[in-house]
Amino acid sequence: MSQTVGFVGLGTMGGPMAGHLQSAGQRLVVWNRTAAKCQALHEAGATIAESLAELAPQCDVIAMCVNRTEDVRECLAQIIPHAKPGTLIIDHSTISPAETPAIGAELAAVGLRFVDAPVTGGSMGAQKGTLTVFLGGEPADTAEAEAIIAPYSKRVARVGSVGSGQMMKMANQIAVGGALMALCECLAFAHKAGLDIAQAREMINTGAGGSWAFENYGPMILKQDWTPGFSIKNQRKDFAYCFEAAEVLGAQLPGTTVVDHLLGTLAAQGHNELTTAKLYELLAGTESSEASLAE
């Protein structure tokens, strides 16, 4: 491949995504705040940049997968002064839909191109290379982005101009919250009814009640494996962006509000870093969980 791609952010999602690019033969330069996370990719052939200022001028395309709007802005502040004119920046982070168009405009003003490209499919999708990606940007830019990110995606589509990708991700996160609630409430009810929750999960998942949550979080609940995955902290961060967007749009999010409240109860109990599937325990309940839920 003639292009050099930079990848910024090698966490639970970004690490496997960059790994798929490397396996596909992409010329890759990587940077992560915790440098040790670059080592496996370096051993596979990627170049490690000591800083974003060092990464930027080497790359034709820079993909980012960091956490919050503030993190994106912090990284871009270090990239912009050193990036080549016309560099395409693909942002896989889930950030504020309200701020995303402004970020795109700021980059365009200095001759850089921008596509907001949040992903869904969870850590499992990142590992398997089967993510769904929502692209917001100019048609030529999104077409270029689609070709670059193909190694870690199964479904990619342009959903509108810059910022539309984040709006679609908000719609996705609203659905994710509802599916999580349905799974945990269902299995908690089955548990209290004295049913075999493994059988309940298997049978309900094959019918009208089945979902991605049943398929992927169901086994975690059966094993009582609360390692993320997608953490309560990050789900609530995304919900905050959903509420921000909903207020501007005049949209109602009653289900999301309930799920956020329940996850907030878990966070207050010290479970912020655990998977959102921990919600099952709150609903199925230990004595302390039931007391917290009743408050």
Return mean pLDDT, the chain. 95
- pLDDT at position 152: 98
DSSP state string for 166-220? HHHHHHHHHHHHHHHHHHHHHHHHHHHTT--HHHHHHHHHTSTT--HHHHHTHHH
For residue 37, indicate whether it is catalytic: no
CATH code assigned to 167-294 = 1.10.1040.10
Q: Is the pLDDT of residue 291 over 90?
A: no
Q: Which of 84, 169, 223, 237 is catalytic?
A: 169
What region does 229 belong to: left with phi over 0, alpha with psi -120 to 50, or beta?
Answer: left
- pLDDT at position 228: 87
| Virtual torsion, Cα 247, 119, 104, 102, nearest 10 deg | 20
Question: Global pTM?
Answer: 0.92
Q: Is the pLDDT of residue 290 over 90?
A: no
Give me the mean pLDDT over the 91-105 stretch: 97
Domain 4-160: CATH superfamily is NAD(P)-binding Rossmann-like Domain (3.40.50.720)
Per domain, the residue ranges of the chain are: 4-160, 167-294
Q: What confidence category does residue 54 fall into, taking pLDDT thresholds of 50, 70 and 90?
A: very high
Q: Is the pLDDT of residue 294 over 50?
A: no
